[in-house]
Structure 1
Amino acid sequence: MSTEAPLRVAVVGCGVIGRLHAEVAAHSPDLEVAALVDPHAPAAEAVAEQLAGLGRPRPRVHPDLASALAAGGIDVVAVCTLSGTHADLALEALEAGVHVVVEKPLDVAMGPARRLRAAAAERPGQVVAVISQHRHDPASLAVHNALKAGRFGTVTSAVANVDWYRTQAYYDSADWRGTWALDGGGALMNQGVHTLDLLLWFLGTPVEVTAHTARLGHERIEVEDVAVAILRFEGGALATLHATTTAYPDLGVRLQVHGTDGSAVIAADELTFLHTRDAEGLEGDQVARELRDAAEAPQGGYANPHLTQWTDIAAAVREGRDPWVTLDDGLLALATVRAVYLSATLGKPILVADVLDGAYDDQETHTGSTAPVGE
């Protein structure tokens, strides 16, 4: 446990994910929620009551980030608002001189994300992290560690499936859901980006994307509810990516990685299979052994990968180093999602490097073929 004073956090956006970040902070000796920001005061007050119920000091409540920053007493801003507002709010916080944590995705468009990246480069003393808490799952760590050590041999392929189900009522529950401007996409941008991030973490830099998207199971949304893509990586590996919100009754997430000397399967965040050639002949269950070696220190009685990532972020702030999940990681994941949508729209393979460099900035919004079959 740190003996230093906790970092004072302003949580911007008091919806579902903002409440989670506040709860995580309440269980961390490294963090204290100093301010809650939401234009809808009852939402912020509800989170303040939640924190009081957990025995933590009641934070200030502000209608916007500017007033929270002007009041002072903030070390870190956690951006937990609608996806299409992420980069602009993060930039506002960065320019105020505080550290920044952005929920996934980094934004819905490359332009704002690239401006944030340029501003961060001029402020090396300020930490900017993007939430990708599943990198801290023991299952993900076990696979990553084995890959990094070369124990899979030549990595040849991967299969990433995000087979979720969302009702029509889910999309009808808020005007911003299923819009390009604020949701930034559908099954891939909103639900599948975490699994895509793990795919990139495991296989490296994607080179080219070929994709199709469609809207087949929902009405009154602009975005896709099915996305299918093939990704080619720098190392030569190929991967298939499938994300949907039409897989009734919801089959969850499955990620497979294959190589000449080993393979692994993660299903529902659990390591269900890992077998490497170098472990053949060893006694005991290899999955259990790999998980034991990858396990991070428990955080008291509150087990949550968001807390594990926040612990790393707090350490990065105090040690003056990069966080484990950086702004560049979030930028690459966003560029890959955008490449999927561009490929589906333009009907051709898209180079991820071109998306990163701004070649498609004139097609930042309303991108993605979502026409139902027969339309």
Structure 2
Amino acid sequence: MKQVRIGILGIGNMGTGHAKSLLANLVPQAKLTAICDVSKSRVQWARDHWGGNVACYDSQEEFYQSKDFDAVIIATRHYDHPQNAMEALKSGYHTLIEKPAGVYTKAVREMNSVAEKSDKVFAIMYNQRTNPIYLKLKELIDAGELGELKRSIWIITNWYRSQSYYDAGGWRATWAGEGGGVLLNQDPHQLDLWQWICGMPKRVRSFMSFGKYRNIEVEDDVTAYVEYENGATGLFVTTTGEAPGTNRLEITGDKGKIVVEDDKLTFWRLRVPESQFNRDFKGGFGSPECWKCEIPTTGENLQHIGIMRNWVDSIQNGTKLLAPGIEGIHGLTISNAMHLSAWTDDWVNIPFDEDLFYEKLQEKISSSTFNKSESENQTLDVTGTY
């Protein structure tokens, strides 16, 4: 079958990584044929290294008009993802965007509208969806093995970042440059997995600190509480300022609890559901019989390669997408709601007031230390920072 020709918009950390994977034939049914970046130095670097086989552009208009490729990977600034994706789709290209889907849901909703009207395959780089552990966890919950969910707790504090990390780029950890901190840069994968596995909450109450551990503008410490339609609750705790950190997801349901930690999936399975035990048990003190089960998982965790292969396979064969691009709005909705809750010091219902969020974000941008207009000649790609 004819290979899918790939163009990459943004040749920074992530864009370069994707290019190298394609050039190494790690996605056999695809080949890199074009790149584009506003940074002339990055374009020249790509031309020096790949110029014999890859067309190089510093103009997006010329890039899209070239027809040197069939599909495009968007690896640009967070703020630019929606606009870049819309341009790619409208220009007739299958599109894969890096995470996050954008900075604010208003822009992502517009992007999704364009995608839904397009006949092109639109995906997002939620590479953690290829992890066999989370695939198995979702399978168990979707199959009802945990029964009705009661509570989920995700402690994801192993994102340690030093001050020197933030000082390495003027756009880092600024409202104008990145649009957020740990929630938008490091946590999009966890927020996506959380909703993918447990569903979307109905309201959020969050508490966060901005520049608590480092000299930065944005949030670096977050504790958020959520509630679901069925009465279940959730807790999400994250930071970039603790060492050593923890990555532990615990989900409790009527039939037991499952914990993901240290690359292991452990199921404490009740012999009878808690609700049934409570109804029938008359002995006062007591609890349901519980079996500790180590759940085996199979398959390779292909990460970015897995998402690219799935996207290309969908282009060629109509295979179901593991990470449809339109689903990028879900994790961002939770992130935006957490920010809005902290900014207003109040509960935020989902769906939330997107206009109010945008207004509050613009206030943050207006006082940001990062001047985007001064950086237009910098590489488009700033997504490889997590």
TM-score range, shorter chain: 0.7 to 0.9
Pairing partner for 1:259 from 245, 253, 266:
253
The answer to whether 1:237 aligns with 2:232 is yes
Extract structure 1 runs of 4+ deviating beyond 4 A.
44-52
CA contact 2:173–2:180 (8 Å) conserved in 1: yes
Structure 1 segment 17-36 matched on structure 2, within 5 A: 17-25=14-22, 26-36=25-35
Count of aligned residue pairs for this structure pair = 345
- Structure 1 residue runs without a partner (length 5+): 369-375
**Counterpart for residue 340 of structure 2:** 342
Secondary structure of the residue that 2:102 maps to in structure 1?
coil
Q: For 1:16-48, what per-residue CA distance to the aligned partner results, in whole angstroms no more than 9, with x for missing partners?
A: 211222233231112111112222244345556
Structure 1 segment 140-289 matched on structure 2, within 5 A: 140-163=134-157, 164-214=159-209, 215-219=211-215, 221-248=216-243, 250-267=244-261, 270-277=263-270, 286-288=294-296
So what's the TM-score if we normalise by structure 2?
0.82
So what's the TM-score if we normalise by structure 1?
0.84
**Cα distance in structure 2, aligned partners of 1:333 and 1:110:** 10
**Cα distance in structure 2, aligned partners of 1:176 and 1:205:** 31
Secondary structure of the residue that 1:36 maps to in structure 2?
strand
* Cα shift at 1:326: 1.9
Closer, same or farther: CA 103–46 of 1 in aligned 2, 3 Å: same
CA contact 1:208–1:233 (8 Å) conserved in 2: yes
**Cα distance in structure 2, aligned partners of 1:195 and 1:5:** 35
Amino acid at match of 1:99: H
Secondary structure of the residue that 2:63 maps to in structure 1?
helix
Pairing partner for 2:129 from 108, 114, 135:
135
CA contact 2:149–2:252 (8 Å) conserved in 1: yes
Pairing partner for 1:89 from 84, 87, 99:
84
* Cα shift at 1:358: 4.9
* Cα shift at 1:224: 0.8
**Cα distance in structure 1, aligned partners of 2:269 and 2:43:** 49
Aligned-CA RMSD value: 2.6
**Cα distance in structure 2, aligned partners of 1:126 and 1:166:** 38
**Cα distance in structure 2, aligned partners of 1:23 and 1:271:** 31
Closer, same or farther: CA 285–265 of 1 in aligned 2, 3 Å: closer
Amino acid at match of 1:350: V
Secondary structure of the residue that 1:353 maps to in structure 2?
coil
CA contact 2:160–2:239 (8 Å) conserved in 1: yes
* Cα shift at 1:181: 2.4
Closer, same or farther: CA 58–346 of 1 in aligned 2, 3 Å: same
Secondary structure of the residue that 1:206 maps to in structure 2?
coil
Larger RCO of the pair (alpha carbons < 8 Å, separation 6+): 2
Amino acid at match of 2:7: A
Moved more, 42-51 or 145-154: 42-51
Amino acid at match of 1:273: T
- Structure 2 residue runs without a partner (length 5+): 273-288, 366-386
Q: Identity over aligned residues, as a percent? A: 24
Closer, same or farther: CA 287–177 of 1 in aligned 2, 3 Å: same
**Cα distance in structure 2, aligned partners of 1:32 and 1:275:** 45
**Counterpart for residue 43 of structure 1:** 42
The answer to whether 1:65 aligns with 2:60 is yes
**Counterpart for residue 8 of structure 1:** 5
Pick the structure with greater CA Rg.
2
Closer, same or farther: CA 252–104 of 1 in aligned 2, 3 Å: farther
CA contact 2:183–2:335 (8 Å) conserved in 1: yes
